[in-house]
Amino acid sequence: MCRHQKIFCLSLLLLMLISGSAFALGLKGKLDNPSGSRKNNNYNYNYQNSTANNRSVLPRKGDIAVIVEGYDIQHVRTAEAMIVEQLASHGYRVVDEAKMKRIRAAAAKAKAARLALEGNVEGILKINASYNAAATVIARVQAGEPVLNEFQLYTGTASAAIMAVTSKGVKLGGKSAMGKQVGYTIDEAQQKAIDAAVSSGMSQMF
């Protein structure tokens, strides 16, 4: 091989090595930042996520009181049981049964409880103080008359307006939720619709 050929081969080899290094660096950059965005964008994204995760939720420390109002006592008990179940499934403690009985009795006659059911924050704060609760969940439930459908099943609908106020005066929820379910009987359709509405309404709290 002549001298010129040797120089040409060495130059070609050097060019290949440089191109390979540049490709490797470019690939590493793509893997490190697949979106192609700058680090500042990533910082903003993380900041926005942390801000969203810091939204107000029910307090973890302390017990939660529950007050439910409705036209039918069975519907009220169904909604109350579903709220308690939802709280427990998310790791919250509900006030003991003795306090729950006193709260139910107060809901029928105590002024603070009546104000609480109307969404009055001062009334709810008094409930929190009276029963040493970290927050009180207030719910109004109503179920419509189920309708027999073409499959000979009953279609039930229900609504649940649920809100909560913590002992620090932070208000949560407040939007109405709807539930629609089918059942073999009128009662089953109503109960399932109430469960669905309450479950949807309680999702605002977590």
**How is 28-58 classified by DSSP, letter by letter?**
HHHHH-TT---HHHHHHHHHHHHHHHTS---
* Phi, psi (rounded to 5 degrees) for 133: -100, 145
Q: Does 93 reside within a domain?
A: yes
Q: Tell me: do 132 and 45 sit in the same domain.
A: no
pTM for the predicted model, two decimal places:
0.67
How far apart CA 71 and CA 89 sit, in angstroms, is 27
Return the CATH number at 100: 3.40.50
Q: Does 143 reside within a domain?
A: yes
Tell whether the model's pLDDT for residue 182 goes beyond 70.
yes
- Structural domain of 187: 63-205
> Which residues lie below 8 Å from residue 35, measured CB to CB, with a gap of 6+?
41
Can you give the pLDDT at residue 74?
Answer: 92
Exposure string for 136-148, b = 16+ CB within 10 A, e = fewer: bbbbbbbbeebee
User: Mean of the pLDDT values across residues 102-118?
Assistant: 70
Tell whether the model's pLDDT for residue 51 goes beyond 90.
no
Each residue's pLDDT tens digit, 73-94: 899 999 999 999 999 999 999 9
Q: Tell me: do 39 and 124 sit in the same domain.
A: no
Can you give the pLDDT at residue 105?
Answer: 78
Each residue's pLDDT tens digit, 120-168: 778 788 888 888 899 999 999 999 999 999 999 999 999 999 999 899 8
Can you give the pLDDT at residue 119?
Answer: 67
Q: Does 26 reside within a domain?
A: yes
CA distances for 171 relative to 45, 58, 60, 132, 134, angstroms: 27, 9, 15, 17, 12
Domain count, the chain: 2
Q: Tell me: do 12 and 82 sit in the same domain.
A: no
Residues of the chain with pLDDT > 70, as a percent, come to 67
